A = this chain, B = another copy of it.
């Protein structure tokens, strides 16, 4: 089990959904939390040792940063994902006390949050003007500034709850009430999180060659060991358009024999494959396991092959059967 960091970085500013994700980590409330202005900055705080770990969005994020996260983890000094967190995405409309819904003319928030509240805004504030914000939290905090040139902000409930001086005009204004976003906690390589039986393994695999079948070979490393994939994305390598790597989430832990065997297969066909971590799934869903891909099946198979290769042990076995003439 990785040691508990005393300092956490996160994609800031304070009050974002990312900080809400960080607050789910048991000891983070009592730890030092450093907001970073972007995902790369958050990860650099980990790489240079200023923080023990960083919480960053990995999928579907209201605040953006997903692509940046994938690329930032895939390159540079190696990092490890050690925890996955799901945060329900729920938006509130806030203003300074005294401001009524009918007074709102200009609304600020992050562009992605604005897009996710479009239906509610069209219905309740169809003429409101959009003022871009660098984050939902920044938009909310901006309301407290003297020279604020907008009337309301869309933000996470966390900000509204913790920040004095803001009043909530409307809750649950997101178009998709069940929206959930996924975040990951990233640290430097070290002890892996323990196996729980409901784990996930993330790898980045450069496509070895641009030919039909190369991708199939990569995926077959998982399929042939009964390892299910929950996410796959091709990403340009950045060198030139048309060359790709794959970012993959697989069910299971590298401590599972079938996952370890699949990773070994990946390494053979794409030696620059990067391991980003094995960690408990946020949804706690246990990995189904077939008998022929269990740890026991792998151990039995290895022992059998060893017995074929090792003449002494095999000779011993067959010694009792019959004495040869030669």
Which residues of A come within 8 Å of B, CB atoms?
A: 3-7, 37-38, 40, 47-52, 59-60, 64, 66-68, 77-78, 86, 111-112, 115, 118, 130, 132-134, 138, 147, 149, 176, 178, 180, 182, 187-192, 208, 210-213, 215-217, 219-224, 226-234, 236, 238, 240-242, 244, 246, 254-255, 260, 263-265, 267-269, 271, 275, 283, 285, 292-293, 297-298, 300-302, 304-305, 308-309, 311, 314-315, 317-318, 321-326
Contact = CB atoms under 8 A, between A and B. Distances in A.
B308 A192 contact: yes
Nearest to A180: B241
A60 to B, nearest CB: 7
Classify the interface of chain A: helix, strand, loop or mixed: mixed
Contacts of A309: 192, 254-255, 260
A86 B236 CA distance: 14
A241 B86 contact: yes
A43 to B, nearest CB: 12
A301 B216 CA distance: 19
Contacts of A268: 292-293, 297-298, 300-301
Given A241-B86, A301-B264, A308 B188 contact: no
A220 B220 contact: yes
A313 B321 CA distance: 44
B228 A220 contact: no
A221 B261 CA distance: 13
B213 A223 contact: yes
Contacts of A326: 3-7, 52
Given A86-B241, A132-B138, A268-B301, 11 more contacts: A3-B324, A7-B325, A188-B324, A192-B308, A215-B223, A217-B224, A220-B220, A224-B224, A229-B234, A264-B301, A268-B293
B211 A216 contact: no
Contacts of A192: 308-309, 311
A49, A187, A267: which has the most chain B beta carbons within 10 Å? A267
A38 B269 CA distance: 41
A74 to B, nearest CB: 14
Contact of A133 (B132, B208, B224): B132
Contacts of A308: 192, 254, 260, 263, 275
Contact of A188 (B115, B232, B311, B318): B318
Contacts of A66: 67
A191 B311 CA distance: 5
Given A260-B305, A309-B254, A189 B49 contact: no
A228 B241 contact: no
A180, A232, A255: which has the most chain B beta carbons within 10 Å? A232
A317 B77 CA distance: 12
